[in-house]
A and B are shown apart, each in its own frame.
Chain A
């Protein structure tokens, strides 16, 4: 029984793998990809409730990917994660309706907590908007 789906997007493989593993251990249906392009491909096929998105990646950066994701799947909550702390990109991300902007290094526990909160908001917003609750399969 998987309560919800998380997609982690980060070109830093060690971080990606460890986060996905730890989410899976908590029975979260988590998947990982290493680029913005791959994230969009992934979302075409698989659903996700929450996307954790690294800001600085080669190719399509996180802000661009966020813009696409919010356009195509407005109900998906996105948490931006960055190693390059910049108020400007944080403000840009939040203005594009990212759920949060977190600065690495972030404790995995804290990140997981924020993912849970993002999922909660997604559910409430979904219900208020009258759309069906996210996949509970």
Chain B
């Protein structure tokens, strides 16, 4: 269903008007030209839509995926190129220089989109002792910091080596992975959990199958041969991620990447692939997406450290992330490897050491620790049962806790800020620092109870505030990947254990409740970064939350209530980052694509060479195409179908072009009268335009007028709307069943297209409206005003930037005609309403009047 199809049908079966082969030839030529013109208009619309989507993303408070920016920017540019091709087909050789201008803009758009940064120069493998000197670009921040911990503070760290980011780049390059990853991310819909999971699994598969280049194998194996075991047992490795951007302030990537523990040295390569593949784990991809980081910037070094078979381990915070004002070191500790604390798997001991001097163990809460992780004799780690006598014993002695706290404070002082330290005690009780990074802080806000006076609705009280705030939503229990897929925006995420794998859901969750876990886990960190209220470790009582039940989680007040309780006003957590790498790229792309420098077609500078942005190019091509189609010179191409001026009591500023069978023949003279027109949608439109007389422009208040005047002076092209240049005329392109109206009424540009045939399936009404002379806020208000009525007519409406698009398809002819009639009314009667948009009473007045008028419109003739 479209015009071209329509032509075909006419050609195939329509009664041929009296004429000769010459007439048919001319008409065929016109059809071919018109096809180019329509294709140009469609490319124009697509280019501007894609551009508007970019601008919309820029105006939003979130960071769009880089693939979206790249895709929309490409769509804009490619459609601009289509416009150029079609204009060239309409007027061969008339506009030299267009392609050069396009090439120049294309190059700057591509530069703005950027490509992957060049990998750091340096060796493929480094001893950990050299990691500090080599810097973060090569060793990754985590290993560079660990190198400094040993070199600059003399604290014990496991011996090891670093497989550098240079090695990562080599693996990616040899495998040709970059292109394939970009492709997979481009086609994915990362907002959907199932698509995210599938895409990540495909990308991770690429890494798992990647060849390890021989020079890398050799370098790693030489390095491992020189590595001594940390204890009496044979050497085993802990392979830890050290990704670019990991641990940076504000973007911690908490728990997004894999560590492979207790790896047999001969099988390092398999573990290595697994760790670098975790750069594309679902939590990591969705985290980068959420934080506006570009996937192509991601690179990972991997530390191969001697495994410490720990008797106890855990995490120490040198400040309370929820209460940074109270000094003290918070220690979470468990038996065995620190994994249980890091994952938030099981309850663990909590100690607080006040810094003194001298430091003093101020608090200790000993948990029942029934299980622990230990090194499996073969490979990997496994949970084992803790001996009964140890279950309720503290996993750290007082002196060990103090030693650890002192080491942590040293790290805080050295690195200049609160630290999050992962540590282990080996079987001999020697303290090792495994990892050290800045502690993300939740800010010093009050996180007391936000809900009060609702005791009768209390479901549970207790737990640990892992991220402050309160929010309400329906409970969704998530235990499996399948549960995660069905998780919906705004639900309360309820979990047994707060595992890092649920991090991708936090971007959409209202709040998080965990039966287990505490403030130190990775998921808790991510909740704080995303500003999602989180109440963890609520205990078995939490299991009573019924799936689908509406609850209010007051994480700060450590309580959950039934129903949606009123929450006191609280400054909205800013979930998006105003300045992210993706947003910077977006801003640069928009700077190359969106500004409109070509305004006035009469200006001698309205030339191909003056086109500096994609928007300029669309404007230029559109303008010239309209001129080529409808100028007097162009009309010589279709003398039989020449534009005739509409005569209604007097000559109107409306011209009619009959594409085929839209007017009664024969016609003579330069005018056409409504009664000569056979086009049904034209009559519906015309009736709508005239049925209820327009009462003139709304009286302007001084401010409204000032706004219009200002915009008109700032944008000279708007002022030329009153000039009667050919291009500013309003054209009806018609056949018996088809109407295309391009009109500029006052400051507004609107286009209306209607195809109305006896077959509903072929029918279409589409309406596009943009512009206005008032400031953007009033223009938007007017679009919203229009949207209400168009939606009321049964049209699907979307607003993109300052353009409104409305569409209805496949409706029976009478409904289409009624719609066209109503559009005629609206086009006439909403003129200049942007002037009054600042005054709610006047808006209300017009809303009431327009609604009444629309209801009073009679059925269109012919319906």
Contact = CB atoms under 8 A, between A and B. Distances in A.
Interface string A78-113: 000001111110110011000011011100000000
Given A83-B183, A120-B2, A121-B4, A94 B74 contact: no
A85 B81 contact: no
B539 to A, nearest CB: 43
A87 B74 contact: yes
B59 to A, nearest CB: 22
Contacts of A1: none
A128 interface: yes
A90 B4 contact: no
Interface string B2-14: 1011011001000
Contact of A103 (B4, B71, B182): B71
B458 interface: no
Contacts of A121: 4, 35, 39
B75 A124 contact: no
B64 to A, nearest CB: 14
B2 A87 contact: no
Contact of B183 (A84, A87, A100, A120): A84
B106 A91 contact: yes
A117 B85 CA distance: 18
Contacts of B189: 105
Contacts of A117: 2, 4
Given A94-B82, A117-B2, A120-B8, A87 B32 contact: no
A56 interface: yes
A42 interface: no
Contact of A90 (B2, B67, B77, B179): B77
A70 interface: no
A135 interface: no
Interface of A is mostly: helix
Contacts of B35: 121, 124
B187 interface: yes
Nearest to B29: A128
A61 to B, nearest CB: 12
A88 B110 CA distance: 9
Nearest to B77: A87
A116 B764 CA distance: 15
Contacts of B187: 12, 83, 104-105
Contact of A87 (B7, B28, B109, B188): B109
A85 B5 contact: no
A127 interface: yes
Contacts of B179: 56, 84
B78 interface: yes
A123 interface: yes
Nearest to A130: B28
Contacts of B2: 116-117, 120
Nearest to B69: A85
A87 B8 contact: no
B182 A84 contact: yes
Interface in B564-620: none
Contact of B78 (A90, A116, A123): A90
Given A91-B106, A120-B4, A124-B31, A83 B186 contact: yes
A115 B35 CA distance: 16
Contact of A91 (B11, B31, B81, B184): B81
A128 B31 CA distance: 9
A95 B35 CA distance: 18
Interface in B33-87: 35, 39, 67, 70-71, 73-75, 77-78, 81-82, 85
Contacts of A100: 82
Given A56-B183, A83-B187, A87-B110, A103 B85 contact: no
B310 to A, nearest CB: 45
A124 B184 CA distance: 37
Contacts of B78: 87, 90-91, 94, 101
Contacts, number: 80
B5 A86 contact: no
A87 B73 CA distance: 8
Interface string B158-192: 00000000000000000000010011101111000
B576 to A, nearest CB: 23
A14 to B, nearest CB: 9
B4 A124 contact: yes
Interface in A122-137: 123-125, 127-128
Interface string A1-44: 00000000000100000000000000000000000000000000
A104 B67 CA distance: 10
A87 B8 CA distance: 33
Contacts of A94: 78, 81-82, 85
Nearest to B198: A14
A99 to B, nearest CB: 9
A66 to B, nearest CB: 14
Given A105-B188, A121-B4, A127 B11 contact: yes
A123 B11 CA distance: 11
A103 B31 contact: no
A85 B8 contact: no
Nearest to B32: A128
B35 to A, nearest CB: 6
Contact of A85 (B11, B32, B71): B71
Nearest to B4: A120
A125 B8 CA distance: 10
A120 B39 CA distance: 12
Given A117-B2, A120-B2, A84 B28 contact: no
B75 A103 contact: yes
B638 to A, nearest CB: 15
A120 B106 contact: no
B82 A127 contact: no
Contact of B81 (A86, A90, A128): A90
Contacts of B28: 128
Contacts of A124: 4, 7-8, 31-32, 35
Nearest to B43: A100
Nearest to A56: B183
A48 B11 CA distance: 23
Contacts of B67: 85
A85 B187 CA distance: 10
B70 A85 contact: yes
Contacts of B31: 124, 128
A63 to B, nearest CB: 14
Interface of B: 1-2, 4-5, 7-8, 11, 28, 31-32, 35, 39, 67, 70-71, 73-75, 77-78, 81-82, 85, 106, 109-110, 179, 182-184, 186-189
Given A123-B8, A124-B7, 17 more contacts: A84-B182, A84-B186, A85-B186, A88-B110, A91-B77, A91-B81, A91-B106, A94-B78, A95-B85, A116-B1, A116-B2, A121-B4, A121-B35, A123-B4, A128-B28, A128-B31, A128-B32
5 contacts: A85-B70, A85-B186, A87-B74, A94-B78, A123-B5
